[in-house]
Amino acid sequence: MAANFIRTLFGKRAKQLQSEDGSREAYQKMADRGLDGNDTMTSREFAYLAQRDSFYIATVTEDGWPYLQHRGGPTGFLKPLGDNRIGFADFGGNRQFLSAANVDDVGRVCLFAMDYPGRKRLKIIGEARWEAADPSHPLWDQLVDPDYDATPERFFIIDVVGFDWNCPQHITPRYTNVEWAGIEKAG
């Protein structure tokens, strides 16, 4: 667990409940130990994201209400843009614009990238913005997959504040048809 994730999300009440549970000391040690640079995304996180074809993004309305939405695209569409910056092409879908509006209003996001068969998840918190996507945009070549049959409407750019890999014990393995066919073939 990266220290910035702990320092950013563990508020007074969470710390109090951790103390009552007996887990506070371990989390405080992790936060203290994190000063060695483990708040920077590494090839491990980028390789994991390169294998994902979807994730969930949580935003917050101007009134403080959470909003969660699924985003999908070609495998690896959530791309590294620097040490602690990631981005993705956002394709047309519903016309509610809740995530885009919330990013405009508040800018804080949480991404949840799942690997159901591997029983892994990566949580990422960050500050986001979006920009209109067009072929003249400097990120076009980096974020657009020319083989994917959808035109992006906007690019989301996220400066990562913290991230956390966590507990696999309650993740139920789920498989795509392609993954299941591979399992049946191997079995």
Looking at residue 36, its pLDDT comes to: 45
Range of the domain at 30: 1-38
Give me the CATH number covering residue 105: 2.30.110.10
Burial (CB count <10 Å: 0-12, 13-18, 19+), residue 77? buried
Looking at residue 54, its pLDDT comes to: 95
Its pTM stands at 0.86
Domain count, the chain: 2
Residues 144 and 121 in one domain: yes
List phi, psi (to 5°) of 42.
-120, -175
pLDDT (tens, 9 = 90+) of the chain, 187 residues, equals: 577 788 888 889 988 999 999 989 888 887 776 544 567 899 999 999 999 999 999 999 999 999 999 999 999 999 999 989 999 999 988 788 999 999 999 999 999 999 999 999 999 999 999 999 999 999 999 999 999 999 999 999 999 999 999 878 888 888 888 888 888 888 7
Looking at residue 109, its pLDDT comes to: 98
